[in-house]
Amino acid sequence: MLRHNVGPNGDPDDVVLNLWTAVVDIEGVTRVDFADCDTYGCTADELVGDDYAPTQALAERVKASGATALITPSAALPGTHNLIVFGVRVVHPFLWKPLMPEEIPTGHMTDGARTAAEVAEHVRWFGTPHKAAEQWKATGQYDLFDDPIATRW
């Protein structure tokens, strides 16, 4: 959200979001990472690039293969991953047991939550190199994101 709404010189406090939590327990998830993205017709740079077309095509190919979800590196926050769930899902009360696979236990946690200011310095802004992709290209591996310690309460 920061890279879409604030930019590298903006104030993270300008982004106010509703925070939700969900329990996602699904089978048939395909994971695509830098090491194997070429087998899915996508380069490492495209996997975390500013152009959405290559990753949208990737998602369509993975979905067409029968996968129920896709895990890929985050373009916005190097060292983290996104879960893309395919198909219709229904918000279900958080503490209730789902009755159908489409039901996702979901809880609305806050209204008007602020973005953690500590994360802003780790965001990959549009047009800048992706730290994890560059590290993977140089070494064949990359560091996972290490949550910064909260500086405000």
DSSP result, the chain: -HHHHT-TTS-GGG-EEEEEEE----S-EEE--TTTGGGGT--HHHHTSS-SHHHHHHHHHHHHTT-SEEEEE-SSSTT-EEEEE-S--EEEETTSPPSSTTEEEEEEEEEEEEPPGGGGGG---TTS--HHHHHHHHHS--PPP-PPPP---
Q: What's the total number of domains in the chain?
A: 1
pLDDT of residue 15: 76
Looking at residue 3, its pLDDT comes to 66
In a domain, 150, yes or no: no
Residue 149 lies in a domain: no
The whole-number pLDDT of residue 5 equals 66
Which position has the token pair 């993270």? Answer: 12
Asked if residue 90 is part of any domain, the answer here is yes
Q: Is 147 contained in some domain?
A: no
pLDDT averaged per 10 residues in sequence order, the chain, 153 residues: 67 79 91 97 96 96 96 96 94 92 90 80 91 97 91 71
- Structure confidence at residue 12 (pLDDT): 74
Range of the domain at 83: 2-137
Q: Is 151 a domain residue?
A: no
In a domain? residue 120 = yes
pLDDT score at 19 = 83
129 lies in a domain? yes
Residue that the structure tokens 């809880």 belong to: 107
| Residue 8 within a domain | yes
